[in-house]
Amino acid sequence: MKTPMQGLPFLYKRLAYVALNVTDINKSIAFYSGQLGLNVHVERQGEKVGLRCDQYAMSLVLYQEDVAGLRRVCFQVASSADLQLAKAHFQSRSYECWDIPAAEIEFLNIAGGFRVHEPITGVTFEYIDCMVEPPKVLDQSLAKIQRLGHVVIRTNKLDEAWAVMNNDFGLLSSDFVVDKAVWARCYPNPFHHSFAMVKSDSQGLHHVNFMVSEIDDVGRARNRLINAGVDIVFGPGRHMPSGSVFLYFLDPDGMTAEFSFGMEEFPEENPREARMLENSAQTMDLWGGMPKPEFCKRGEIAGPEFNE
């Protein structure tokens, strides 16, 4: 039976984690833990590290590589039955699916799952049904992060990419700017967007977002990052799409990360229609701010990980 709204045979639960390739893993660990406040959960020295910011074991996974960028995006579905339905769905649409290697399953603290490569965006997506919830209480003394909020990519084929993400991956548009951007949610997850795409001359990572619990977390982060010599590239400000208060900054590889507070939530039944927003600077910042040239410019999209 197809689920309502998004027309797929399976239900999403949440955006689980994002995996990034970084060129100096120790610097990146120091940044994401020491400046942003994520907690290191598991580490393979000099190779890869998993960090958490909520009740689950993984929110951000960093891999040591020669080129920095987006390695993959992981969604958790609603149940083990949904995971099997998801795999069958993608195979029926002629996508090649491959199981997550056993060594990665152990490292990622998951029960299993599969990966699928989407060729238009170039993104490798991972689907899982469950993840370990560690008993250790998070250290939130630096920032009260609620969750990994969303991942946004740059694409030079926005219309084609959105057709695929809507029709094959079942994401629902919450807001859009014609020929510029789409913000999408994974039904029935209520958050305004877990994944978004922005039109660009080239493919790549746009930014990774972490949602915080208090607006004070945004203000404190701004001052902490400035004092540490981190480049603030946009904000603080407020987005029209989602209504979030935001702050964008650069990680050690020049990739853009975001802290945001607040986000519109959609009901499962009778949600509002997606809005067509104006292609203007004020849409992106209702407070009238402008991003710096370095905003969301760095980060390649890695290819599929068949042989990992």
Domains of the chain: 12-128 (3.10.180.10), 145-301 (3.10.180.10)
Tokens of 202: 């080239």
Tokens of 47: 């190779």
Q: Give the whole-angstrom CA distance, residue 134 versus residue 50.
A: 13
Q: Position 161: which residue type?
A: A
Query: For the chain, where are the E strands, in sequence order?
Result: 12-22, 39-44, 48-52, 60-64, 69-77, 97-99, 113-117, 124-128, 145-155, 172-177, 181-185, 195-199, 204-212, 232-238, 245-250, 256-261, 275-276, 300-301
* Residue-level pLDDT, tens digit, the chain, 308 residues: 344 456 799 999 999 999 999 999 999 999 999 999 999 999 999 999 999 999 999 999 999 999 999 999 999 999 999 999 999 999 999 999 999 999 999 999 999 999 999 999 999 999 999 999 999 999 999 999 999 999 999 999 999 999 999 999 999 999 999 999 999 999 999 999 999 999 999 999 999 999 999 999 999 999 999 999 999 999 999 999 999 999 999 999 999 999 999 999 999 999 999 999 999 999 999 999 999 999 999 999 998 876 55
Supply the pTM of this predicted model. 0.96
